[in-house]
Structure 1
Amino acid sequence: MTKSKSLTTGDIAKYCDVNLRTVIRWIEKGSLKGYKLPGRGNNRVTVEDFLSFLNENNMPIPEDFLPKSKTILIVDDDENMANAIKRVLRSSGFECDTATNGFLAGSKLMQKQPALMTLDLSMPGLNGFELLEHLRKQDDFNSLKILVISALDQNSLDKAKELGADAAISKPFEKDHLLDLVNQLTR
């Protein structure tokens, strides 16, 4: 699904199992961001705005909008750390692949199209900040969720979020916290 795709009020009514008039009221109230087409004035809602509305209202995401992939790309130059992350995620049913540097990560992202990537910030060559900045400029990776897992300080974690990371946690991490974040991001 591309970001620019729009949904009709009828589409949304079916996805939410509500009456068409309910969807129109959501739009009129401003709860659901929509726009009117010129001419007849039919309402449309972008997929992105629809998903935001569902999340804000704790409504289930329809299966059509869930990631097709349960694959996670782990990008870390520390093999022991990559294996630790992999063990935690595999135990919860995720498929995992690893890349030891930013260049290899770029190649694997194109091949595997994972739902999420974990990213270490300190790597030789193309570091995590540079990779993050590069990926967020690419339309192909707009929907890729990125979880930074780094031993750097809080300022670095905050900078990673400013550059487009969806979440950031410190090493060493708590297994349950990692799983909670991954499950939230891949929902």
Structure 2
Amino acid sequence: MRQPKEVLTTGEVAKICNVAPRTVSKWFDSGKLRGYRIPGSKDRRIPLDQLIRFMKAHSIPLDGLDTGQVRVLIAERDTDLGAALTTVLEKNPGFEVTLVRSAFEAGARSEAEGPQVMLVDVSIPGFNGRETVRSIRNIPSLRECALIAMVDRSGDVSAEGLRQQGFDDVLEKPFDSAAMMTAIDARLGSATAAGD
């Protein structure tokens, strides 16, 4: 995976945020966007971590930004499980995680954020497996997104049925963090190999 730039110019930030360079300068000068000036010049530099903080705080989509991290969207209605999955992934600095609790929010955030991996609780109200897969695959930036279903082992939805609907993998609840990481790594490995 290519390493992203750690420090950006105002022009680079403007392109990422889809605004004029002067707007970035105003954000910087007002203290909203933190950074520093090059000694002996008026040029401004913005560290990548400060740009990400600013973009998240102001709901600016991160899809224009290559952070070098794997973007993961978790759609899980169980608050405790969603928080636990997020914590496990965020312990690894290679992951940027977004947690949502509804099918509607999953659709809206996936299009805005362009995740590379989606973990989807198939018991979310309003969820339709085949429709979810079709919708995601119809968005050009999400065609290569790894779709991993999460299903209750005791439920009436089969893992094989979800794979036939187009999910790349299925995790049966309860599962441990190692199983989740293995599923994510396997999907990312196959996506990388397909792109080579």
Whether these two folds match at TM > 0.5 is yes
RMSD of aligned Cα (Å): 2.3
Q: Is the 8 A contact 1:132 1:160 kept in 2?
A: no
- TM-score by structure 1 length? 0.57
What residue ranges of structure 1 are gaps of 5+ in the alignment?
1-66
2:70 aligns to what? Answer: 70
The secondary structure found in structure 2 opposite 1:147 is strand
Q: 1:105 to 1:148 in 2, by over 3 A?
A: same
Q: Is the 8 A contact 2:119 2:149 kept in 1?
A: yes
Q: For 1:75 and 1:129, how far apart are their aligned partners in 2?
A: 16
Q: Is the 8 A contact 1:121 1:148 kept in 2?
A: yes
1:126 aligns to what? Answer: 127
Q: Which amino acid aligns with 2:99?
A: T
The secondary structure found in structure 1 opposite 2:181 is helix
1:11-50 → structure 2 map (5 Å cutoff): none
| 2:93 is equivalent to residue 90 of structure 1 | no
Q: 1:129 to 1:158 in 2, by over 3 A?
A: same
Q: Is the 8 A contact 1:76 1:123 kept in 2?
A: yes
The secondary structure found in structure 2 opposite 1:124 is coil
- Aligned identity (percent) is 22
* Alignment counterpart, residue 174 of structure 2, candidates 165, 172, 175: 172
Q: Is the 8 A contact 1:120 1:149 kept in 2?
A: yes
Q: Which amino acid aligns with 1:179?
A: M
- Offset, 1:184: 2.1
Q: For 2:103 and 2:133, how far apart are their aligned partners in 1?
A: 9
Q: Which amino acid aligns with 1:111?
A: A
The secondary structure found in structure 1 opposite 2:119 is strand
Q: Is the 8 A contact 1:116 1:147 kept in 2?
A: yes
- TM-score by structure 2 length? 0.55
Aligned residues: 121
What is the CA deviation profile of residues 26-48 of structure 1, one whole-angstrom value per residue up to 9, with x for unaligned ones?
xxxxxxxxxxxxxxxxxxxxxxx
- Offset, 1:130: 3.5
Q: 1:87 to 1:122 in 2, by over 3 A?
A: same
- Offset, 1:173: 0.5
2:144 aligns to what? Answer: 143
Q: Which amino acid aligns with 1:104?
A: E
Q: For 1:171 and 1:140, how far apart are their aligned partners in 2?
A: 29
Q: Which amino acid aligns with 1:163?
A: Q
The secondary structure found in structure 1 opposite 2:186 is helix
Q: For 2:169 and 2:81, how far apart are their aligned partners in 1?
A: 18
